[in-house]
Structure 1
């Protein structure tokens, strides 16, 4: 029994010694790092509320502190045209030197860099000036890299909602110029020299311009917007409150909209509706559906206007390109309704209500159809037969078959026009009654043929008007569509979208 207890105790002791041996065999960097942290933050009496002194220049250690700022863009989360807000996910890189955090690596096991929680360090209060949601500063306080030379690199992630002026003049073929302005809220230019991490850049007017001023090595593309240019600008601004300059760095992001979605869902339906406006004048007036089609197109355009008002910001500065096209189409449709009503009025005219003037016949029957290469429809065969029979009955050869009747001096062929002037006293009563009946029938046929002919003239005038309006509105729709959509600047912009695959990345 004692042997079992002895073996159990030996096993426990062996396991403890082995465990202690493992920990003893590990590198002693952790205790050295703890000593380093204690030395930097405790023994040196480090006070995070006091700004570190700048670099020594000309023997003076009280110069301004240089803070370098850089931005690594991760993703464009949203671009709200209606509220003019850009939501972006980025990493904001801060670099500065704090001489109070220097150490000799040989005294601490060769440690040249350590991580220190950023809330234990002094940090420059860099804020975004064009903030749009109330969060001006970085809210996630990550650890900072501290090097033995006193260099501190702090790169916290952040999601910013910033104001971005949206210009909807060329919507949906637009590009926007968004910016993010960063500066110290407390310290002026005599205390902090704010610089870009990539260097001074190129001087333009009173600004230092840094091409490719935004790091896109970890950028994930947006489904609606392409980034086509990124720059950074450093300038010093004087505010009315203070005589000191306040340096700031503005990151400019030029984005261009991807138009496939809007082309399929907005542009093509609008063009189709515009084409339907032209087809109104191809519809025969007898169908009675011309006004119905025009009103339906007008209602469809109204729905598109409501959809466009939900997408665009409520601005009265410019009219969007798509809005111009919808307005142009609505004017065309409205005008087509007025002209369709006029055409229908002409089509349903009759000799009982209107008399066709000679200038109308000359213009719409004799002249314009020749210009627009339009031929008049042929008359029905039954009308030709009736007119031929009427003409044959009026000929003298037909009268020779009745010598008793045709021997007088009055031509029977003119009975339609002059039957009331023919003297029939010398004819038998049967012949007189027959002559009166023939005269009545001939007069009725003549009047009926004249009415039908004038009705057809009005119908033909309406057809000519429809053809004129068809040519006019077809030309107007094609020219209007091309002139409006050829104004888009993206059509002539050949710049390639920037991605993490076609930029120079310096990790």
Structure 2
């Protein structure tokens, strides 16, 4: 049996080409390999150290999970969106089969260290922990979208409880870089609430995002941040039925006590019963509100 050396050479050559990754590798795989070959994910994505990285910040409010009045903690479900330019992640579309867009795991390329500064979550400590892929286009435009559950501090004013309104803020900024290295801007002043799910306890009045610049005493540089302000109004029907109405009833009963003849024993027992009811009502109210001396709710006075 004679060997077909021509076919053998073709098979060997094809195998060599496949091993070298020239013809048997997809355009997407070749692109990722070429871009990451000399890529340093720990360095800012600029070719000149004096260049500024601008990060556009956008956030979508999905749901207000909880506002704990006692601990003064706001818990929200949000969709974070960050956009920036990476000067090392651009390519000629014609060299990669017309591929205009690709994605990378967030652990493979540089990403801004945006933290929630007023976090109270000891697990994440304010960093964005959700692992999602990062999208990159041929001109180096990077977009990173990820869902996250945030726990932030929120000072609660209960002066007009249960007809109160609360204003909570979430402040986002870079932890390492100053304003000359990384700038944080607002993509839109209005928070995206198109997918917002109404809360059973609070109604969302407004949601705004503003850019803020802070200069600390320790450092001469400016530190930009994005402050998200949420204005919430308590839905008071539950408290109206279970707290306000009983409070009015106790007030009426207290007035009725004056019409009971003083020479009867029922007047003393009646007033003692009202007093005990007031004590129980005060305890229930105390359990619902934060232990603070800044303001006392009118309902409890």
Q: TM-score, with normalisation over the residues of structure 1?
A: 0.53
Alpha-carbon offset, residue 30 of structure 1 = 7.9
Query: Which of the pair has the greater relative contact order for Cα pairs under 8 Å at 6+ separation?
Result: 2
In structure 1, stretches of 5+ residues that fail to align are: 1-27, 55-59, 199-209, 325-507
Partner residue in 1 for 2:127: 137
- Report the Cα offset of residue 119 of structure 1: 0.6
1:111 equivalent in structure 2: 99
Deviation at residue 231 of structure 1 after TM alignment:
1.3
CA distance in 2, matches of 1:184, 1:50: 14
Residue aligned with 2:143, SS: strand
The residue aligned with 2:57 is 69
Task: Indicate the residue corresponding to 1:232 in structure 2.
Answer: 209
Matches within 5 A, 1:269-418: 269-285=246-262, 287-324=264-301
Q: Which of residues 226, 235, 245 is equivalent to 1:268?
A: 245
Matched, 1:36 2:41: no
Question: Post-superposition shift, 1:147?
Answer: 0.8
Contact 1:168–1:320 (CA<8 Å) still a contact in 2?
yes
Secondary structure, aligned partner of 2:220:
coil
**1:246 positional shift:** 0.4
Distance in 2 (alpha carbons) for counterparts of 1:278 and 1:82: 33
1:49 to 18, 42, 57: 42
Partner Cα separation in structure 2 for residue 164 and residue 192 of structure 1:
27
2:66 maps to 78
Identify which of 66, 88, 109 aligns with 1:121. Answer: 109
What is the CA–CA distance in structure 1 between the aligned matches of 2:288 and 2:24, rounded to whole Å?
58
Superposition CA RMSD, Å: 1.7
Query: Residue 214 of structure 2: SS of its match in structure 1?
Result: strand
In the superposition, relative to structure 1, how do residues 178 and 30 fare at CA in structure 2: closer, same or farther (>3 Å)?
farther
Which of the numbers 81, 84, 87 marks the counterpart of 1:99? 87
Offset, 1:29: 12
2:79 aligned counterpart, secondary structure: strand
1:161-176 alignment to 2 at 5 Å?
Answer: 161-176=151-166
Aligned to 1:178: 168
Secondary structure at the aligned position of 1:99 is classed as: coil
Given the superposition, is the C-alpha separation of residues 264 and 40 from structure 1 closer, same or farther in structure 2, using an over 3 Å criterion? same
2:34 is paired with a residue whose SS is helix
Greater Cα radius of gyration, structure 1 or 2: 1
Indicate which of 155, 169, 184 corresponds to 1:194. 184
Deviations 1:84-136, CA, capped at 9 Å, x for gaps: 00011111111000011101222222221112101101011010110112221
Structure 2 unaligned blocks of 5 or more? 1-22
Q: Report if the CA contact (8 A) 1:29-1:109 is conserved.
A: no
Instruction: Give the structure with the larger strand fraction.
Output: 2
SS at match of 2:107: helix
Q: How many residues align?
A: 277
